[in-house]
Amino acid sequence: MDSIERREYIKNLLVESCKPLKGQHLAEELGITRQVIVKDIAILRASGIDIIATPDGYIINKQGENCYSKILALSHNTDKIEDELKTMVKYGGIVKDVIVDHPLYGEIKAMLMIKNLYDVESFVNKFNNYKAEPLLVLTNGIHLHTILTDNEEQMSQIVEELKRKGYLIEG
């Protein structure tokens, strides 16, 4: 298969997949290097396909399926991360990203795409196994999350519970 056919194949896999696809797995399946996958993804992005690189692999941003989007300002310490994420997915929310405002670098954003309890547990396990510091430590616990939901009621439930738990920053 030539490069155009390969990119079309990759695009179709991403469109049909419900979960992120690892670049290394794509490379092995297609018998090419990981670097070729990175280049193909860059070309697909340049053609207008909204591909997001998450810690678990590539995924197409399927806007419209979750028509409600809201950026929430939150504050808590590291030991509340799991509870915060579980609160959001409990009501059908997708935690699209985390954003912090760094004094030197400005806005730092990491794609998460956490959709369910399994994703929360997987993220927390990686966090613990890597012994990595979360972005919120750079800003004394203050951070933003973009939350996606199917409807306004789900968003309201998420906001209310985060408020009740004291995580939500209100202005």
The one-letter amino acid code at 41 reads I
Please list, in sequence order, all residues whose beta carbon lies within 8 angstroms of the beta carbon of residue 67, skipping any fewer than 6 positions away: 150, 151
The whole domain housing 17 covers 3-60
170 belongs to a structural domain: no
Is there a domain that residue 75 lies in? yes
* Residue at 53 is within a domain: yes
Phi-psi region of 11 (alpha: psi -120 to 50; beta: other; left: phi over 0): alpha
Predicted confidence (pLDDT) per residue in 35-68, tens digit? 999 999 999 999 989 898 988 899 987 655 556 8
Q: Are 80 and 34 members of one domain?
A: no
Residues 93 and 25 in one domain: no
What pTM does this model have? 0.68
Greatest CA separation for the chain: 55
Query: Would you say 153 is a known binding-site residue?
Result: no
Residues 49 and 75 in one domain: no
Residue 25 annotated as binding site: no
| Residue with token string 């794609």 | 111
Q: Is 84 annotated as a binding residue?
A: yes
Q: What is the mean pLDDT of the chain?
A: 91
- Asked if residue 10 is part of any domain, the answer here is yes
Each residue of 61-102: pLDDT tens digit?
765 555 688 999 999 999 999 999 999 999 999 999 999 999
**Nearest in space to 79 (alpha carbons), one of 37, 127, 34, 47:** 127
